[in-house]
Amino acid sequence: MAVIAAKPFAFPFDKYKSALVIIDMQRDFLEHGGFGESLGNDVARLGTIVPAVGRLLQAWRALDLTIIHTMECHRPDLSDLPAAKRDRGQPKLRIGEPGPMGRILVAGEPGTEIIAALAPRMNEIVIEKPGKGAFYATNLGEILKSRGITQLILVGVTTEVCVQTTMREANDRGYECLLVEDGTESYFPEFKAATLEMVRAQGAIVGWTALSNDILQGLSDG
């Protein structure tokens, strides 16, 4: 056991019961021509977290600890895409339509892939999810239970959409959740800041936040 310097107070860390959960670091959100840009966003902001996420990924790999990658995507027949999701926003390209990186947010298309710098290895779990939360309509809960995982270290994009939704789902399911401050990013800096504040408010009502270096220290301490 180790203790990670975190907010609003120290996080008791058992790395053998932890999973690094890397949310939706996909070309569709981080690169030009994908879903994020089609919604009118400046995608460059999101790339700033890649080095910190990469350091955590390497550290988890070096210790052979559980790594989960998630991908937001839909079946090619779009049978898992509700109209309430398809019709939101004023995008130039809707989910399922062809763009420069293939069909937007459709499984198997080039734009849906995780960016090359963080590409999953064969032994790492990849969860394809049709929703914002990684527990909705996936077998993530069963996978974590079978491995005895009780603590989730969360990174990825975007902070207030898929990352926060997953963190809240996990909190309700009894996981201790730590959101990495320099490992998550939003198209809206004020939304990222608000999310960090709200999840750790009221005595860590949803969970903790910490810097990646403090998590790396926790990994080496215990």
How do strand 176-185 and strand 208-210 relate by DSSP bridges? parallel
- Which of residues 19 and 161 has its CB atom nearest to ligand TIU in the complex? 161
Residue 158 within binding range of ligand TIU, rule CB under 6 A:
yes
Q: Which one among 53, 157, 167, 204 touches ligand TIU, defined by CB under 6 A?
A: 157
Q: Is 214 in the site for ligand TIU (CB under 6 A)?
A: no
Binds ligand TIU by CB under 6 A, chosen from 31, 72, 109, 128: 72
Across 42-144, the runs of DSSP E, i.e. the strands, are 66-72, 98-99, 102-103, 125-129
CB nearer ligand TIU, residue 91 or residue 141: 91
CB of 122 to ligand TIU, least distance (A): 24
Closer Cβ to ligand TIU, 24 or 214, answer by number: 24
Label residues 104-136 b or e (16+ Cβ within 10 Å = b). bbbeebebbbbbeebebeeebbebbbbbbbbbe
Q: How deeply is 98 buried, as exposed, middle or buried, from its count of CB atoms within 10 A (0-12, 13-18, 19+)?
A: exposed
Q: In whole angstroms, how close is the CB of 191 to ligand TIU at the nearest point?
A: 8
Write down the least CB distance from residue 215 to ligand TIU, Å: 21
Active site residues: 24, 129, 162
10 vs 2: CA distance, rounded Å: 10
Binding flag, residue 162, ligand TIU (CB under 6 A):
yes
Using CB under 6 A as the binding rule, the residues of this chain from 95 to 154 that contact ligand TIU are none
Nearest to 161 by CA among 122, 113, 129: 129
In 10 A of CB 27, how many CB atoms? Answer: 22
Q: Does 93 bind ligand TIU (CB under 6 A)?
A: no
- Would you call 217 exposed, middle or buried from its count of C-beta atoms within 10 A (0-12, 13-18, 19+)? middle
Among 22, 24, 52, 152, binds ligand TIU (CB under 6 A): 24
Residues of this chain that bind ligand TIU (CB under 6 A)? 24, 29, 39, 72, 157-158, 161-162, 187
